[in-house]
Amino acid sequence: MAMTGSTPCSSMSNHTKERVTMTKVTLENFYSNLIAQHEEREMRQKKLEKVMEEEGLKDEEKRLRRSAHARKETEFLRLKRTRLGLEDFESLKVIGRGAFGEVRLVQKKDTGHVYAMKILRKADMLEKEQNILFA
């Protein structure tokens, strides 16, 4: 049996339909966020150009500011790509416990900022048949 561009929805199981829908939503969100982030970068660049024009900067000063701006944008993008894990934080205190895990007061090692971190036990959640999408 040859496959065409699409399969009839009636032949797919409900599980498959749900997975297709979840995948579609995930991809749409990913690309809409990507486009929005690109537009934000362009707006920041235009704002920089406008400010430099208003200040009447010389070409060399403009070049230096553009270079500094590009470095900051690159660093920002690099920070966004890094994944945080338990090893990036120091646990200070357990502030709550629940059916699926606990909430801890933690301090980020590199900045010293204090946050509340919810730690979920995936096995317990799956055991209790909770439908939660894990990243």
pLDDT at 63 over 50: yes
Given a cut of 90, is residue 99 above it in pLDDT?
no
Q: Which fold has domain 86-127?
A: Phosphorylase Kinase; domain 1 (3.30.200)
**For position 65, what pLDDT does the model report?**
96
pLDDT of 31 strictly over 90: yes
Tell me how far apart the 2 most distant CA atoms of the chain are, in Å.
70
φ/ψ bin of 49: left (φ > 0), alpha (ψ from -120 to 50), beta (otherwise): alpha
Q: What pLDDT, on the 0 to 100 scale, is given for residue 6?
A: 56
| Backbone phi, psi, residue 77, to 5° | -65, -40
What pLDDT, on the 0 to 100 scale, is given for residue 38? 95
Rounded mean pLDDT, 95-117: 93
- Which of the 8 DSSP states describes residue 10? G
Decide if 120 contacts 103 (C-beta within 8 A).
no
Query: Residue 125 pLDDT more than 80?
Result: no
Q: What pLDDT is attached to residue 54?
A: 94
Residue 118 annotated as part of some ligand binding site: yes
User: DSSP secondary-structure letter at 88?
Assistant: G
When the pLDDT of each residue in the chain is averaged and rounded to a whole number, the result is 88
